Amino acid sequence: MTSVEGLLRDLRRTLDEGGLSGSFLVRDLHSGDELGIDPDLEFPVASLVKIPLAVATLERIRRGELDGSARISIEPGDASPGPNGLSRFRHPTRVAVDDLLYLSVAVSDNAATDALFALTPPAGVAAILQELGVRGVTVRHTIHELTETLAELLPPEDVHFAHVLAIEAGTTGRGHRIPQLDVTLANSGSARAYLDLLQALWTPSKIDPDVAARVRELMGDNLLRQRLAPDFRSDATRWSSKTGTLLNLRHEVGVVEHADGRVFGVAALTESRVPALHQPEAEALMGRVARTLRDRLRAW
């Protein structure tokens, strides 16, 4: 069997040949054993921020500070743009807070997410994370600010120019000319930080058991399954996850629960050097690398 060092070296080379670099970590949530590639590298997290937002919202509902049945008005002209859910509605609507949580996490609906951020602003989410002992996940801004990039201003045939800028305008210190890609300005976190959050949701922690159970349920209902899900979902497993996408960033974090009782947290945070909007090969490669790490860890 290839040594762990040899395996990681081969996986790094495979990622590089596919135009990807990134941060991967797989952890056995019961034993704590883990295996990864640059797991402490910090990234802008895009829609992964919807997990801590859900935790904070549900915690405030538990405390009685919010009413999950309260209906929130969504006006199409004011809603954050996005490809899914309320972001695509043409007419005003009213949605309960509990249902906004479903749309935000399971459908990755930007309008629903910012309606929740209006109830608990980024600073409030960050404060609750601190109270619950969640470290390493930084929440600084709403989802609407993610949509204010060059990619939103260009016609579809020219979007690759925004990807070229995203690829070429970074700095060695993880800064970036595009603010949403600068880890000192964006919502940010590492593979390890997000796995710590998943660990707190799947095993006993300071997060209330009912809050954790609801977040697990929402992640289990995730409809976006083109990245890691093909390598982790089967009749003998349950895959619960959340994706995040912004320009050349493609992320997914989740938990695979096996029928034999073993449970693994998986985090894959990546950036691509290929200036293209649609990259199914990169998403398939993310899944193969993450599964290879899980398979090796499972064999220990």
Q: Express each pLDDT in 282-300 by its tens digit.
A: 999 999 999 999 999 999 8
Cα distances from 226 to residues 30, 116, 143, 219, in angstroms, run: 27, 26, 22, 15
Please choose, from the candidates 55, 203, 198, 195, the residue with its C-alpha nearest in 3D space to the C-alpha of residue 139: 55
Question: What does the block give as tokens for 188?
Answer: 């940010």
The span from the CA of 208 to the CA of 203, in Å, is 11
Predicted confidence at residue 164, as pLDDT, reads: 66
Domains of the chain, residue spans: 4-49+121-298
Q: Which is more confident, 222 or 151?
A: 222
DSSP letter at 233? -
User: Which residues of 106-248 form beta strands (DSSP E)?
Assistant: 188-190, 237-246
The span from the CA of 4 to the CA of 9, in Å, is 8
Predicted confidence at residue 296, as pLDDT, reads: 97
Please choose, from the candidates 284, 240, 285, the residue with its C-alpha nearest in 3D space to the C-alpha of residue 263: 240
Cβ-proximal residues to 99 (8 Å cutoff; 6+ apart), any chain: none
Please choose, from the candidates 224, 200, 221, the residue with its C-alpha nearest in 3D space to the C-alpha of residue 211: 200
Q: Express each pLDDT in 87-101 by its tens digit.
A: 889 999 999 999 999
Q: Express each pLDDT in 51-87 by its tens digit.
A: 999 999 999 999 999 999 999 999 987 777 778 899 8
Predicted confidence at residue 1, as pLDDT, reads: 67
Cβ-proximal residues to 31 (8 Å cutoff; 6+ apart), any chain: none
Q: Express each pLDDT in 117-141 by its tens digit.
A: 999 999 999 999 999 999 999 999 9
Per the DSSP assignment, residues forming a β-bridge with 257 are 238, 263
Q: For 4-49+121-298, which CATH class?
A: alpha beta
